[in-house]
Amino acid sequence: MLTGAFEVIWYIAASFLISLFAIPFGLLTKGIDRKLAAHMQWRVGPPVWQPFWDVKKLFQKETIVPEDAISWLYNAAPILCLASTVTILLYIPLGPFPPILEGHGDVILILYLLTIPSLAMVAGGFASSSPFASVGAQREMVLMMSYEFPLAATVIALVWKISSLYPQEAAFSLTAFARHPIWNIMGPFGIVGAIVLLIVLLLVTTGEITKVPFDIAEAETEIAEGVFVEYSGRNLGLFYLADAVKTVVMSALIVAIFFPYNLSPLLTPNISIPSWGWAIVDFLFFLLKLEIVIFFCMTFIRVSVARFRVDQVVKVYWGYLTLASLLALILIALDVML
């Protein structure tokens, strides 16, 4: 049992460790995404470590604050964005390792925390006093409000099923998902419902990490990177890192909810290696799962469609995806009742 002071020190150390893992891995993921997208688009693409060089370059560049900007808010937004994104990762299990802040918060808290990076971007956009950034910030808010409902519906539907089967569990905690993988407890209706929810969550993720077709807040050809239009140097670099970490966060969330499986229970009877060895194997397997999820929710989608307009994005999220998640909710309800 950790005493108070030790606990605090452990949390600080763990946050550093998490950042040390999430930032390089997020950048590597970006590199892999760019390389894969390039090959799908009939070109060669940059080397996979290009994002590291991009960040290095951004941190060396001059950071310019526009004359009319609210400078404290303008400078605070990227830090807030990165910090809040890393914080979410403290609540999500990373493969074989349970969440660092286990027992301190649940999925509902994660849903709330997920809005903070977007809010930081909105604040930064409005603070930079550029008409393009204002349009971008407005669009970011619209986007945020649009994907919130399908996201919540997905989580609630699954939690409902778990809590109906295991009333003694703290159903909203992510470890409950890990202990009872949803594919194992669902009936036939529930499986269909869960597949629909998985697709919904993948599409919500595309919006959450603002990639084509939902990148309306940045939309290079329309509003010249929108919220980021005035940002440069270190500030832009921090936003870039936050975006990389957010990709890891969203995919880790999907993996934690839908694919919490590890390799070790399958292989332990056949191969014998020490338990730390299994931890490494499981962690690598977890990273593989992340890359696969990212491929489907980011790379694959962004190369295969055009960017939507704001009204079309709202229609997709509030119309189709909300309907789909409600339908899945009904299917899972049928599954619970039968």
Partner 1 sequence: MSEHTYSIPVGPLHPAIHEPITLKIDVEGEEIVGVDVFCSQVHRGIEWLGMNRNNPIQNIYLAERVCGICNVCHPFCMVQAVEDASGIYPPERADYIRAIMAELERIHSHLLWAGVAAHEIGFDTVFHYTWALREKVMDLIEYLTGNRVTKAIMMVGGVRRDISEEGKKKIKEGMQYYLEKFAKIEDIYLNDPTIKMRTRDIGVLTREDALRLCAVGPLARASGVPKDVRQDFPYGAYADYGVKAITPDTYNGEIHADVFDRIIVRLLEVKQSVDIIKWAVDNLPSGPILAEKNLVKLKMLLKKAEGEGIGRVEAPRGEDIHYVRLEKGKDPYLSWKIRAPTYNNVLPWIPMLLGGQIADVPIVAASTDPCMSCLNRVTVVDEKGRKYEITKEYMHELSVKKTRRLMRNANRSF
Query: Which residues contribute to the site for partner 1 (CB under 8 A)?
Result: 40-43, 131-132, 134-135, 138, 212-213, 215-216, 219-224, 303-312
Nearer to partner 1, 75 or 138 (CB): 138
Angle at which helices 275-294 and 4-40 pack, to 10 degrees?
Answer: 50
291, amino acid identity: E
Nearest distance from C-beta of residue 41 to partner 1, angstroms? 4
Residue pointed to by tokens 């919006």:
207
Measured in whole angstroms, the distance separating CA 162 from the mean position of its chain's CA atoms is 23
Nearest distance from C-beta of residue 223 to partner 1, angstroms? 7
Nearest distance from C-beta of residue 306 to partner 1, angstroms? 4
Nearest distance from C-beta of residue 249 to partner 1, angstroms? 24
Measure the CA–CA gap between 157 and 229, rounded to whole angstroms. 39
The answer to whether 128 and 67 are in contact (CB under 8 A) is no
Nearer to partner 1, 171 or 313 (CB): 313
* Core vs surface per residue 150-182: b (16+ CB within 10 A) or e: bbebbbbbbbbbbbeeeeebebbbbbbbbebeb
Nearest distance from C-beta of residue 297 to partner 1, angstroms? 17
Nearest distance from C-beta of residue 149 to partner 1, angstroms? 21
Nearer to partner 1, 102 or 222 (CB): 222
- Nearest Cα residue to 137 out of 200, 74, 204: 74
Measure the CA–CA gap between 118 and 137, rounded to whole angstroms. 9
Nearer to partner 1, 221 or 272 (CB): 221
The answer to whether 119 and 289 are in contact (CB under 8 A) is no
Measure the CA–CA gap between 254 and 289, rounded to whole angstroms. 10
Nearer to partner 1, 105 or 213 (CB): 213
